[in-house]
Amino acid sequence: MEELLGVKTIEPGARTVQVRSELAGLEWVRGAVATPLGAVRVEAGEKRIVVAIPAGMQAAVVLPAGEWTQNGAAVKMEKVEAGMRVRTILQQAGQFEFVRRSR
């Protein structure tokens, strides 16, 4: 589940995780990964990704290339890597919805 949802601990104590969902040919994935601070929930498809993180944790969300919004606001492209992905940091608990803009 951790691999499919793309949830990986990047700081000891599970205070920071990376979310980099890979659909692996599926239309969508949905699930949760347990951490010492609570479950990290992910629902991901080609055009919509929802990430919920518990209190005391932050997440680095890596999105496929393209134009995205986060809870309705444009996501600023922070870094383009070989895989053409956008990364955004969530520093508070809550649910965050990322939607790919139509081209």
- Given a cut of 90, is residue 98 above it in pLDDT? yes
Return the domain boundaries, the chain: 2-100
Mean pLDDT in residue range 73-100: 80
Taking the model in full, what pTM does it have? Answer: 0.87
Mean pLDDT in residue range 64-78: 86
Mean pLDDT in residue range 97-101: 94
- Given a cut of 60, is residue 103 above it in pLDDT? no
Max avg pLDDT among 50-59, 73-82, 86-95: 50-59
Q: Could you tell me which of 39, 35, 31, 43 has the C-alpha nearest to residue 15?
A: 35
C-alpha–C-alpha distance, residues 63 and 99, integer Å: 10
Tell me which CATH code domain 2-100 carries. 2.60.420.10
State pLDDT tens for residues 11-35.
767 688 999 988 888 999 999 999 8
State pLDDT tens for residues 76-86.
876 666 555 77
